Amino acid sequence: MALELPRNALKRALKEGRSQIGLWCGISDPCVAELLAASGFDVLVFDTEHAANDTRSVLALLQAVSSYAVHPAVRLVSGSTAVIKQYLDLGVQTIIVPMIETEAQAADVVAATRYPPRGTRGVATATTRAARFTRIPRYLERADAEISVWVQVESVRGLGNLQTIAQVEGVDGVFFGPADLAASMGLAGQLDNHPLVHEALLRGIDTVRAAGKGAGTLTLDRARGRIYLERGATFMAMGVDMTLLARAASDLAAAFGGDGDTAGDAAHDAPRAPSGAPSRP
């Protein structure tokens, strides 16, 4: 039985000029992913760099959200050709690749998402969920059109090369990593709540949008998120699942006499969990 090639909802939305709101996800449980899939976010970003995820757990997460309208993206642990191949073969259509600092690195990432002769992606269909195990006709010819490549710029060096990185053909967008960027600027732990980091992100968004590419970042501050969207950001991650759960649990415990300290400082510094779907500016 022939199956349809899934369409990349994020890629299409950005082409149509519609900003996308996402949630960063570090919890590796498919039940949590399914619960979040119906919360109203456009995108769920499953993290494999700093969360306890690998190909097996991401496969389960993808399967858990597959019947929902939300688009799954994956932040990879690295930009190696082997890592990119594995997650594309699972059926991931949007990847975010960390620690990109040069035009050459960005070009290598793009090449790893394209089949030869256009790139270096390893060829397989019988064993890959992406091709639905050969049930998607002409998958090898059509796959590129539905893959969205986001490179993560998160260092002073990367910012210095931002214009050339953004102009690499095949890069759909640049996602700014505020935590590593702040550390690179000598402001570790201050994320986008430090004026210098905040201004660097705003300038970065301007540069990327001038190149005609998508721009995004992660913030725990709703007011700043709206500022980035107004500045031209097209893909905003507005929170982290672990932080939302920790804050809600601490608030509930505190309401009944708990001291609320068990969730850690990060939970207390984070915004309250939204009561429903995230609002647009």
Q: How many Cβ atoms are within 10 Å of 243's Cβ, its own excluded? A: 20
Helix axes 55-65, 81-90, angle to 10 degrees: 30
Q: Between the CA of residue 201 and those of 101, 218, 227, 266, what are the distances in Å?
A: 15, 11, 11, 21
Question: What are 70-100's pLDDT values in tens digits?
Answer: 999 999 999 999 999 999 999 999 999 999 9
Q: Is the pLDDT of residue 191 over 60?
A: yes
List Cα–Cα distances, 179 to 50, 120, 190, in angstroms: 12, 31, 7
Instruction: Report the catalytic residues.
Output: 50
pLDDT tens digits along 59-73: 999 999 999 999 999
Calculate mean pLDDT across residues 50-59. 98
Domains present along the chain, CATH in parentheses: 9-269 (3.20.20.60)
Q: Residue 273: its pLDDT value, please? A: 39
pLDDT at 248: 97
When pLDDT is averaged across residues 3-21 and rounded to a whole number, the result is: 96
Confidence of residue 260 (pLDDT cuts 50, 70, 90): low
State the pLDDT at residue 261.
Answer: 55
Secondary structure class of 37 (helix, strand, coil): helix
Percentage of the chain beyond pLDDT 90 is: 90
d(CA 100, CA 112): 14
- Number of other residues whose CB lies within 10 A of the CB of residue 226: 17
The answer to whether the beta carbons of residues 280 and 21 sit under 8 Å apart is yes
